[in-house]
Structure formats: C-alpha cells, structure tokens
Structure 1
Amino acid sequence: MSEKNDETEIWERARADSGEAFADLFRRHRDAVFRRASALVDRAHDAEDATAVAFFELWRKRKSVLLVDGTVLPWLLVTVGNTARNQRRGGVRYRRLLAALPRSEARDAEHEAVTSMETEILGIRLREALSGLDPKDAALLTLTALDGLTVADAAPLVGLKAGAARTRLMRARRRLQQDLGPKPSHVTWFLSEGERA
C-alpha cells in the first residue's frame, strides 16, 4: 500500500471518530504544521497554540475536510497560517490595549503596585462579566475586539447570520458596560472594537 493510500485510509478512520487514527495523523504532520506557525509568529508558545488550534479544527471539521493529493497536510497548513495571523493581529491589539493604559511620568514602586493590582482587578471583572454572557456573545466580542475579525466574518464562526450577530454584539456590549460600571478608557476600547461590518 502506498503512503498516499495509507493516509487516505487513516483519514477515513479518523473521520469515523477513530482517536487512534487521528493521533497517527497528528504524529505525521505536527512538525510541518509547527514550522509553518513558527514562521508567522514571534514566540514558540504562540506557534504551539496555533498548531493545537489547527489540529483541533481538523478534528472538529473532520466530516467535511477533504484530502488534497491524498493528505490533510495542505488543509492543516492553510488553517495554521490563518490561526497564526489571527494570533499576531490579536497580539498587536493586546499590546495597543496595554499601551493605552494610563501612565504617569514618575513611576515609583507604590504606583506600579497599585496600577498592577487595578489592572488585575479589571481583568478579573472583565472575565467575570464575559462569563456571564451567552457563549456566542462572548465569542463574538472576543473575535471582533481581540482577533480583529469583522462582524460579518465572525458571525458564521459562532453559527449566526451577520445581522443577528450585530444585534447580539450591541446587546452584549451594553450588558458588559452595565456590569463593569463606569468605563475606563481601555474598557471603552475593548467594547468599541469590532464595529466594522
């Protein structure tokens, strides 16, 4: 049996929910997928995350993914490329968010400690507020604000039409604003990201 036919047979078993067959595909392709991710992101752990997401998506979409020339590798390389680019855009937005935090000219240890605690508390409050939302609404907020997707691009990823996603996103932002109380500028930025249609 040729290598190509061998992978075709393995993929058919993986599509039929064989974890063992899927693990075999992972072993075959993880290094190539990781190398592709590493070329697109700055840190090794980001490449590891992108690789994990690509294989997770392959498993999740296994019923619809088709082989190219008898292998899933091309599909994995495209997926890890998209994931890594989204991670990179999200990282840029995250750094922009951090840069937007209020800063004083003279920083002493006490001010640093207070700022650090305030940021940590805000993060906890934001996580709690997000966890109170419907999972689709929280995913929409994250995909538009941090991953940089438009509402139209994010909508099908959470199983919604663009119009419904816009409405849900607007309501989710209002709910977060109520839950978080007075809005510091960095929370306002998070809630206003993703306005693009």
Structure 2
Amino acid sequence: MKDEQDDSPLWTRAVHDDGAAFAALFDRHRPRIYRRTLTLTANVHDAEDITAAAFYELWRKRKSVTLVAGSVAPWLLVTTVNLTQNHRRAAARYRKLLDALPRDESHAPATDAEDLEARERLRATIRGLSPQDAALLVLTGVEAVPVWQAAQAVGLEPPAARVRLHRMRQRLQRDLHDLRPSVRNAPEGTS
C-alpha cells in the first residue's frame, strides 16, 4: 500500500480497549474508507452509514482482526465491500417494493442515458461477483494494494488471487467491451 504508517502500535492499544488509540486509527483511515465506499455506493448518505458500520465492526471484532502488512486498512476495505453488498441487497428489496407502487413519471430527472447505462452495467457486473472477488477487485484494481496483501486480506493464497483477478478481468472485458467504442473501432495497428 502507498506509504502508510504502521498501525501496529495503535492497534495493540485498541485491542486492549484503548478508545483514544482506536480514534486515532479512525482519523487515519476514515477518509480513505469513505472515498472507497462512496465510489461503491455513489450516494453520500449511504457511504457515511457504511463507513460508520465498517468502523463499528472493526471495534466489535477487534480481538480477532489481523493486520495485513501492519495496516488495518485491508480489513476495513474488505468489510466495506461486504457491507456495501449487503446494503445493495436490502436496497434492492426496498426498491422492488417501491417499484410495485403506482407513481407519476412526469417528474423523472433527466440524465445522460449512455453514462447511466455504462455505470449501471459496471455496477451490475461487480454485483455479480462473490463478496471475496469484489473485495479482491477493489483492493487491487482501485486501491492499488499488492496482490499478495489483498490475497491475505480476503483469505486466499496469492496464486489463487491472481487466477481470480485474471478471470474477473476477462469477465469485465466481455461484459463491458462495447463501452469504449473509440478503442473497439480503431483500425488495427493504431491506438
């Protein structure tokens, strides 16, 4: 990970119920966890709730959490992905209920249809991943965590993580191949 401070001294104190040490860890990692949650949810309020829930889970499970390369960030990122997927499932059930209700469509907001479709297709593809694969993708592809650290954070051996990442890239390319028409339509031999 990118030049992070070693969380070990603070974490040792936090595990022994030192609230000030946990608060320091919260202050250190909250901005990054919030940014990642916001990209996964695209909703400020949901991102705030999920970020708070991730830190609550960290405190609640502090006796069993293992640091990865001296940092609690990978554990928080994996937890954030899992909480986001749980939130999505609950929101989908709620949305299904709301969609069944009659409503007036004349006040629907105008959006860029292509941009909306691209985002939704990407989210749908990511939603189709297992929680472990989604966490692995976020850690390596978005957070730039080395594969060996991401593998440890999600409970895989590095070779297995590499194979999963390769398969996910192939799936994303297959599912989203038409989202970049300028690349697809470029004549061979040019880029």
Query: For residue 9 of structure 1, what is the aligned residue in structure 2?
Result: 9
Give the C-alpha shift of residue 23 in structure 1: 0.2
Question: Which of the pair has the greater relative contact order for Cα pairs under 8 Å at 6+ separation?
Answer: 2
Give the C-alpha shift of residue 35 in structure 1: 1.0
Give the C-alpha shift of residue 3 in structure 1: 3.3
- Partners of 1:44 and 1:14 lie apart in 2 by 28
Query: For residue 85 of structure 1, what is the aligned residue in structure 2?
Result: 85
TM-score, normalised on structure 1? 0.49
Query: For residue 95 of structure 1, what is the aligned residue in structure 2?
Result: 95
Number of equivalenced pairs: 101
* Structure 2 runs not aligned, ≥5 long: 105-191
Q: Secondary structure at the match of 1:3?
A: coil
Q: Which amino acid is 2:68 matched to?
A: V
Query: For residues 32-181 of structure 1, what are the structure 2 equivalents within 5 Å?
Result: 32-101=32-101, 103=102
- Partners of 1:38 and 1:25 lie apart in 2 by 20
Q: Secondary structure at the match of 2:56?
A: helix
Q: Secondary structure at the match of 2:23?
A: helix
- Partners of 1:44 and 1:31 lie apart in 2 by 13
Larger Rg: 1
- Partners of 2:103 and 2:25 lie apart in 1 by 52
- Partners of 1:104 and 1:95 lie apart in 2 by 13
Identity within the alignment, %: 54
- Deviant stretches of 4+, over 4 Å: none
Q: Which amino acid is 2:45 matched to?
A: H
Q: Which amino acid is 1:97 matched to?
A: L
Let me know the Cα RMSD of the aligned residues. Answer: 1.8
Give the C-alpha shift of residue 104 in structure 1: 8.2
* Structure 1 runs not aligned, ≥5 long: 106-197
CA separation of 1:104 and 1:19: change in aligned 2, threshold 3 A: closer
- Partners of 2:39 and 2:86 lie apart in 1 by 14
CA separation of 1:104 and 1:65: change in aligned 2, threshold 3 A: closer
Give the C-alpha shift of residue 89 in structure 1: 2.0
- Partners of 1:47 and 1:93 lie apart in 2 by 19
Give the C-alpha shift of residue 91 in structure 1: 1.3
Query: For residue 167 of structure 1, what is the aligned residue in structure 2?
Result: none
Q: Which amino acid is 1:69 matched to?
A: A
- Partners of 2:103 and 2:72 lie apart in 1 by 52
TM-score, normalised on structure 2? 0.50
1:71-122 CA-partner distances (Å, limit 9, x unpaired): 1000000001111122122212111111223x389xxxxxxxxxxxxxxxxx
Q: Is the 8 A contact 1:41 1:47 kept in 2?
A: yes
CA separation of 1:94 and 1:104: change in aligned 2, threshold 3 A: closer
Q: Which amino acid is 1:8 matched to?
A: S
